[in-house]
């Protein structure tokens, strides 16, 4: 199974990008975040034409929204209850005997202070809910968790660890909360299975950088976690950074991995 995750930043605006990526990378399962549409507005026809005929969507008008599209039939499952506000931030399916989740954790605003920034408090609440949920699910069979988790967890997941320690997405409060959620679920971070801990790996580059590739001030915000047996069967972990250079791109690049199911 080739599985990919991508914060597409509007599925309708970038449907041509998705089609191009599916043709080039040939994922069997594509997990999307920030689709920015309601369920009935999702472009199912374009996905079917690209070979991803089986889709589960949890949409929301103008904001958030997640989806999983698959070449093979899927069983729709209850979304993980990670968002106290009941925003469209999680979706779950089962295919090929494997449970797959995609999550969209809030960005958290600009100020890393729960007293003055409700968006940051909300983000930490979502990460806490993830810990509780994945701890309760631990040991219940093979699982793949994907998504834009909006946290760059390690020193080499950001362009400058020292300069970003007080910047939302890399603060100690966030990185420790994300790590707590991952370990509570007994899950493995596949990026660091296939890339050494001291290798820089990024999946997001700000729109504010006119030449994103030259400046390369990236962060690893997009993740694929699995249960240990799937991690051992995984290979070909790839950040498709070239997609960030397409016309009117998402600020995130897709990430993919192959798992021998």
pLDDT in tens, 74-109: 999 999 999 999 999 999 999 999 999 999 999 999
Whether 199 shows a pLDDT value over 90: the answer reads yes
Give residue 45's pLDDT: 98
Give residue 107's pLDDT: 98
Whether 210 shows a pLDDT value over 90: the answer reads no
CB burial string 245-261: b at 16+ within 10 A, e below: eeeebbbbbbbbbbbee
CATH classification code of 2-259: 3.60.10.10
Give residue 114's pLDDT: 98
- What pTM does this model have? 0.98
Whether 28 shows a pLDDT value over 90: the answer reads yes
* Distant-in-sequence, close-in-space partners of 209: CB < 8 Å, separation ≥ 6: 215, 217
Residue written as token pair 């994945």: 134
Identify the three-state secondary structure at position 184. Answer: helix
User: Would you place residue 209 in the very low, low, confident or very high pLDDT band (cuts 50, 70, 90)?
Assistant: confident
End-to-end CA distance of the chain: 6
Mean pLDDT value of segment 200-208: 97
Give residue 243's pLDDT: 98
Give the whole-angstrom CA distance, residue 148 versus residue 232: 23
Whether 24 shows a pLDDT value over 90: the answer reads yes
Give the whole-angstrom CA distance, residue 94 versus residue 101: 9
Burial class (CB in 10 A: 0-12, 13-18, 19+), 192: middle
Give residue 257's pLDDT: 98
Could you report the per-residue pLDDT of 221-242, keeping only the tens digit for each? 999 999 999 999 999 999 999 9
């Amino acid at each position: 199974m080739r599985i990919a995750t991508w914060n597409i930043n509007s599925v309708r605006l970038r449907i041509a990008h998705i089609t191009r990526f599916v043709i080039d990378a040939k994922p069997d399962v594509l997990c999307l975040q920030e689709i920015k549409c309601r369920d009935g507005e999702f472009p199912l026809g374009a996905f079917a034409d690209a070979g991803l005929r089986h889709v589960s969507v949890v949409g929301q008008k103008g904001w958030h929204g997640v989806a999983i599209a698959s070449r093979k039939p899927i069983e729709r499952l209850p979304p993980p209850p990670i968002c106290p506000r009941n925003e469209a931030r999680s979706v779950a399916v089962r295919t090929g005997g494997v449970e797959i989740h995609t999550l969209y954790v809030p960005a958290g605003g600009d100020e890393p202070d729960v007293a003055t920034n409700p968006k940051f408090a909300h983000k930490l609440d979502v990460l806490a809910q993830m810990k509780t949920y994945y701890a309760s699910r631990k040991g219940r069979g093979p699982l793949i968790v994907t998504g834009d988790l909006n946290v760059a967890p390690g020193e080499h997941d950001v362009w400058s660890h020292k300069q970003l320690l007080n910047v939302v997405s890399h603060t100690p409060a966030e990185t420790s909360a994300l790590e707590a959620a991952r370990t509570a679920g007994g899950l493995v971070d596949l990026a660091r299975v296939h890339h050494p801990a001291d290798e820089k790996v990024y999946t997001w580059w700000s729109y504010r950088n006119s030449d994103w590739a030259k400046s390369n001030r990236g962060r690893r915000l997009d993740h694929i976690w699995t249960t240990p047996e799937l991690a051992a069967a995984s290979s070909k972990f790839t950040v498709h950074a070239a997609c960030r250079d397409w016309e009117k791109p998402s600020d995130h690049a897709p990430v993919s991995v192959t798992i021998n199911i």
